[in-house]
Amino acid sequence: MGMGVEAVQTALSSGFGPIQFRGGRYDPNSGSTGLAFDWQGDHYVVLVSREFDDDYLSGTTVGLTDLVAKVKSFKSVIVKTREISEWER
C-alpha cells in the first residue's frame, strides 16, 4: 500500500468521519487496491488503481477534492490516475 491509497483513506475519513476500512490489499486481477466500508447503513467500495497509488506523490494525478461526493453518489468508485469514476461491480 502506497501513498495514493493512504491519501484516499485520509480523504474518505475526513469526509465520512471515523470509518473502519475492510480490504486494503492489492488485487492483481483488477490492478487496484480495494477499500470497503459501511456508513449510515450503506456499503461503499473504493478501488485505487496501482497507477494512482504509484504516481500520487508526483502531483500529476487526479485531485481528491470530489472523492467523497462521488463516493456518496455512486457508492462504488475507482480512482485512476486521471479520473474518479463509477465502478460497475
Per-residue pLDDT of the chain (89 residues; tens, 9 = 90+): 689 999 999 999 999 999 999 988 888 888 899 999 999 999 999 999 999 999 999 988 999 999 999 999 999 999 999 999 999 87
The predicted pLDDT at position 1 comes to 63
pTM: 0.92
For the chain, the domains span: 3-86
Report the distance separating Cα 48 and Cα 7, nearest Å: 10
Which amino acid belongs to residue 37?
F
The predicted pLDDT at position 54 comes to 92
User: Distances from the Cα of 21 to the Cαs of 58, 77, 83, 84, in angstroms?
Assistant: 25, 15, 22, 19
